């Protein structure tokens, strides 16, 4: 396994690192510690700079105007982009292009014209609605939202929970049961938020500072048959599409914020004196820093290994599960230790550590809880053995 970076990758990493340090971090001095977005007049210049760098639209395929970047490079960029106060919630405040509904790249051409292309142009916002009050980790069985065919329409009834951005979106992907139990009975629908029967029932506040979710109520919502994404009964495949690939940069972001927390802890331990000696001279602190370093190096290798396997065109579902599991868990430990080393300052909003602590905790649930990742890994071990 060769994970040595190419000259181009090193150049991109340095360019993004400098962008974060010189363009993004200084803006946060005047923001609320829990801010989740930049004013338009501050964000626009950042977007122009990422476009000039040739890195805007990182999650957009090149055939749709995005940069032609392999997953290893994408993950390296994610590591750098998360190293600022809001980096785990809004990496660089989406100056590199916001997260896209990747499933829409599989839409029909009329659907792309109406929904995808305006979304890529920043004219429309979208949401993804899979989870329900009955559960989100096993959507193939948990989905109770029903879609019944009525002429040229489908009528949807049900509730969706933990949905990000539905209150600010123009349309979304809603998964409903059109058949029997199991994977083959789920269909994906493109739903517009101003249609009768669509309602954001409530805002669900979470541990994360700026992040909140929504609960959606669908009541006799009529959706044209032409708004099915993919095939009837193919919703589960649509939901899984590209998820393994997206999970790797997600893990890389956990790694990036943990790297920054560790750097802060190392620096602080060398400056802070107690009882006549620096914290860094104390064995207890040294061991915490060593544990941080081991966690970070392990997570980095696993993230880049998963990305490299994907770039080679090999199956990497298990590797992406391992990367996500380890990066989220290890990143949380690193941030926790770094807070402890900072003492009272670690829990103050003067530093970003306390925000990272809250936000990285959610990463153990988002994109599939740690327990689900273990299930995926165990299935591979027991089904085909280690390889």
Q: What are phi and psi of 197, to 5 degrees?
A: 100, -10
Task: From 306, 345, 312, 346, select the one nearest 327 (Cα to Cα).
Answer: 306
**Exactly one of 23, 219, 232, 367 is catalytic; which is it?**
367
Beta bridge partners, 176, equal 187
Structure tokens at 286: 């040294």
Q: Is 80 helix (H, G, I), strand (E, B) or coil?
A: helix
Instruction: Assess contact for 104 and 119: CB atoms under 8 A.
Output: yes
Distances (CA, A) of 274 to 150, 265, 309: 73, 15, 47
> How many other CB atoms are there within 10 angstroms of residue 261's CB atom?
29
Q: Which of 153, 163, 165 is nearest to 195 (CA)?
A: 153
What is the distance between the alpha carbons of residues 250 and 158, in angstroms, rounded to a whole number?
29
Tell me whether residue 354 is one of the annotated catalytic residues: no
DSSP state of 280: G
**Residues noted as catalytic:** 367
């Amino acid at each position: 396994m060769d994970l040595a970076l190419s000259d181009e990758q090193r150049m991109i990493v340095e360019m993004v690192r400098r962008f974060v340090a010189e363009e993004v971090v200084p803006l946060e001095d005047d923001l609320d510690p829990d801010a989740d977005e930049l004013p338009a007049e501050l964000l626009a210049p950042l977007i122009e700079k990422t476009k000039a760098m040739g890195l805007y639209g990182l999650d957009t395929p090149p055939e749709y105007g995005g940069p032609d970047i392999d997953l290893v490079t994408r993950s390296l960029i994610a590591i750098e982009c998360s190293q600022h106060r809001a980096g785990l919630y809004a990496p660089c405040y989406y100056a590199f292009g916001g997260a896209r509904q990747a499933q829409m790249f599989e839409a029909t051409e009329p659907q792309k014209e109406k929904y995808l292309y305006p979304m890529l142009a920043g004219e429309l916002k979208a949401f993804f609605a899979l989870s329900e009050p009955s559960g989100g980790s096993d959507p193939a069985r948990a989905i109770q939202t029903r879609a019944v065919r009525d002429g040229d329409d489908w009528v949807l009834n049900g509730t969706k929970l933990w949905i990000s951005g539905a209150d600010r979106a123009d349309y979304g992907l809603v998964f409903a049961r059109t058949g029997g139990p199991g994977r083959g009975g789920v269909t994906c629908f493109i739903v517009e938020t101003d249609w009768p029967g669509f309602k954001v029932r409530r805002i669900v506040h979470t541990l994360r500072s700026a992040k909140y979710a929504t609960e959606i109520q669908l009541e006799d919502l009529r959706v044209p048959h032409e708004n099915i994404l993919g095939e009837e009964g193919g919703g589960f495949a649509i939901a899984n599409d590209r998820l393994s690939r997206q999970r790797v940069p997600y893990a890389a972001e956990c790694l990036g914020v943990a790297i920054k927390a560790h750097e802060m802890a190392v620096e602080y331990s060398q400056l802070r004196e107690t009882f006549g000696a620096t914290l860094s001279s104390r064995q207890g602190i040294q061991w915490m820093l060593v544990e941080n370093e081991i966690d970070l190096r392990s997570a980095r290798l696993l993230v880049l290994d998963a990305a490299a396997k994907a770039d080679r065109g090999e199956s990497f579902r298990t590797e992406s599960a391992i990367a996500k599991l380890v990066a989220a868990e290890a990143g949380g430990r690193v941030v926790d230790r770094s807070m402890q080393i900072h003492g009272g300052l670690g829990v103050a909003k003067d530093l970003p550590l306390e925000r990272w602590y809250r936000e990285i905790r959610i990463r153990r649930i988002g994109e599939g809880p740690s327990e689900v990742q273990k299930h995926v890994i165990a299935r591979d071990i027991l089904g085909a053995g280690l390889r």
